[in-house]
Amino acid sequence: MLFEHEIAWENDRVYEEVYRNSIDFPNEFWMQYAQDIEWKRIPNLAYDNEKKEWLSGGISNVCYNCVDRHADKIPEKAAIIWYGDEYGERREISYAKLQKMVIQISSILKGRGIKKNDVVGIYMPMIPEAIASMLACARIGAIHLVVFAGFSPEALKYRLTTSNAKALLTINSFRRGGKEIELAKNIPNELGIDIINLDNIQYHKNVIPDIDWQNSDDDLFILYTSGSSGKPKGVLHSALPYMLYVATTFKVIFGIQPDDVYFCTSDIGWITGHSYITYAPLFHGLTTVIFSGSPTYPEADRYWQIIEQEKVSIFYTAPTAIRSLQMFNKKIIKKHDLSSLRVLGTVGEPINKSAWKWYFETVGNKKCPIMDTWWQTETGGIILAPLRNINQKPGIAGKPFFGIETDIIEGELVIKNEFPGLYKAIVSECATADNALYKTGDGAVYEGSDIKIKGRMDDVINISGHRLGTAEFECAINKISEVQESAVVAVSDDLKGQTAFAFVVLTVTPERDDFAQIVKKIVSSTRNSIGSIAKPDYISFVPDLPKTRSGKIVRKLLRDIANGAENLPELHSVINSEVIDVLKVSVKNPIFCPDMCKLK
């Protein structure tokens, strides 16, 4: 049954009124949805201005709400359906079974001395055990830190050490795209923390550790993401306020029904995998379908085959995946019956018109609204989305969620009021969130009463929806002895949305043949520092970089040059403007690094 807000998210006229109401009476709005949470002690009010705390006074547990209560009421219902790398590889995990798995893992953690507030790393592919591990941490009040399985040993180590992790949950290996990936071998030896390999563990029967009841504002997880600095930042989210935000946005924006089968193609290594693969669907007792293979292996019909087989009703993916599947022969998708689909969603990057049209017409058969959802690791859940009807405009994220006051200040999207999804602190920087005005870093414009996202205004680059910092690339490139300095900027890419373009100044002028060696070093250094998803697609060796009097690289100019902009702005601030013509010529013929890792 749909309630007022879910219905209002379908209809322009009703939306306005209901939205105003949620802004004028935020306490009423959030407390209505806080009733979806089962509380041990009900919170006094939604937001406590003095304490700067959400759901203050409340006591509950996130895992209890996502697993235990459903294991009591709907034990046989599938909580997770997993698809593996090959056709036919399928596992179904009921809520009762998920509860058992979670209890086993949490008792292992307790047995190893893990206590409330300890940080536990999770380095696993998209398998039910990974989700059970996150929930096991939540159950005992430990803080999980998921590290994407595609990240390198160096990136893994950085995240574990800067967050002071006590243990790491992992498995030996998995298969993806027909290849065996030896995950445990990626773990550096000298970490000095407890490595818990779930493949090698003996499970004890009949261990039932109690649920650790938590204060609302206790911590739930840390997830690292990229910002403007050379190092990723650890974003900390609180337990019940985050849960309230992701559960409410999911319910209202997707308009979920109890028998929905939900399939999101993200990975728990990213925020989407936390909020909308794990927590929101399980909180509502839905079935969440997960896939650890590659969308194009053995054939490019894996998503369509899974949708047909499971009768998926809500499908949530990224524009890059849509673009890459759009390129395949129409017959591949036409082979499959996708009539179970009711709602489609995208996330992670702007969706271009042609991909949107294909998604709407060919995947959704013109009957499914496309929820182009805009949000970030920092916001925990969806901030902007279009209304759920089929009169949408392609590429426009649309309206702020109820209870969220947005504005555009100097071209940047900002959030002006408190909301429960916003992160609590940045772990590695000892900074806490400023709830008064949150600046998103994304440029935006109004189109009528809708908001259109233009993209990042800072030095974050979004490759296939994966958020990486240009400074992280530069740190990796500058480590190479032949490199004097470098500047990495984002250029548009038809498939990946954006890709990295590196301008590199060398200390020596190499022989012609040695360039290839240096290119190899650059690619392997970025892969080692960050992971297989990170490598500049274009490299241009240049004599100098444009700089200001104080020695700052003028990145905006480099970005314009790399993107082939015709008219460059006035360049008074650049002291070595003679280099600009050289740069313009060099970008016409950069070294193109063939894609060694095909789309994941």
Residues 6+ apart with CB under 8 A from 305: 87, 336
**Closest approach of ligand WTA to the CB of residue 130, in Å:** 18
Is the Cβ of residue 270 or residue 283 nearer to ligand WTA in the bound state? Answer: 270
DSSP state of 186: G
| Interface of this chain with ligand WTA, residues 328 to 357, rule: CB under 6 A | 347-350
Q: Does 372 bind ligand WTA (CB under 6 A)?
A: yes
Q: How far apart are CA 479 and CA 128, in angstroms?
A: 38
d(Cα 138, Cα 144) in Å, to the nearest integer? 8
Q: Compute CA distances 198 → 118, 145, 251, whole Å.
A: 19, 16, 33
Question: For the window 394-433, what string marks contact with ligand WTA as x by the rule CB under 6 A?
Answer: ---x------------------------------------
Residues with Cβ within 8 Å of 198's Cβ and at least 6 positions away in sequence, in order, are 105, 129, 133, 169, 170, 171
Give the H or E element holding residue 390: none
- Please state, in angstroms and rounded to a whole number, the distance separating the CA atoms of residues 208 and 106: 9
> Interface with ligand WTA includes 272 (CB under 6 A)?
yes
Q: Per rule CB under 6 A, is residue 462 in the interface with ligand WTA? A: yes
Q: Which of 61, 373, 392, 428 touches ligand WTA (CB under 6 A)?
A: 373
Is the peptide bond between 295 and the residue preceding it cis, with omega within 30 degrees of 0? no
Q: Is 124 in the site for ligand WTA (CB under 6 A)?
A: no
Burial of 526 (0-12, 13-18, 19+ CB in 10 A): buried
If binding is defined by CB under 6 A, does position 453 make contact with ligand WTA? yes
Q: Is 217 in the site for ligand WTA (CB under 6 A)?
A: no
Residue among 290 and 574 whose Cβ is closer to ligand WTA: 290
Q: How far apart are the first and last CA of the chain?
A: 37
Residue number, 209 or 455, with CB nearest to ligand WTA: 455
| Interaction between residue 270 and ligand WTA (CB under 6 A) | yes
Q: Is 377 a binder of ligand WTA (CB under 6 A)?
A: yes
The token duo for 348 is 């992670």
Q: What is the DSSP string of 226-289?
A: --SSSS-EEEEEESHHHHHHHHHHHHHHHT--TT-EEEE---TTSHHHIIIIIIHHHHTT-EEE
DSSP state of 314: E
Instruction: CB nearer to ligand WTA: give 456 or 535.
Output: 456
What is the size of the binding site for ligand WTA (CB under 6 A)?
Answer: 22
Run of H or E residues at 477:
helix 470-478
**Count of H-run helices and E-run strands, the chain:** 19, 33
Taking only Cα atoms into account, the Rg of the chain, rounded to an integer number of angstroms, comes to 24
Query: 216 or 317, CB closer to ligand WTA?
Result: 317
| Angstrom distances, CA of residue 144 to CA of 53, 152, 201, 238 | 21, 19, 19, 11
CB nearer to ligand WTA: give 377 or 470. Answer: 377
In angstroms, give the least distance from the CB of 322 to ligand WTA: 12
Min dist CB 27 to ligand WTA, Å, is: 27
For ligand WTA, give the closer residue by CB, 376 or 540: 376
- One of 144, 342, 456, 527 touching ligand WTA (CB under 6 A): 456
Cβ closest to ligand WTA, residue 104 vs residue 266: 266
Which H/E stretch holds residue 560?
Answer: helix 555-562
Among 33, 375, 401, 501, binds ligand WTA (CB under 6 A): 375
- Do 423 and 221 meet the contact criterion of CB atoms below 8 Å apart? no
- Binding of residue 472 to ligand WTA (CB under 6 A): no
Binding residue (CB under 6 A) for ligand WTA from 65, 104, 216, 225: 225
CB of 440 to ligand WTA, least distance (A): 6
CB 424, min distance to ligand WTA, A: 16
Residues that bind ligand WTA (CB under 6 A): 225, 270-272, 347-350, 372-377, 397, 441-442, 453, 455-456, 462, 467
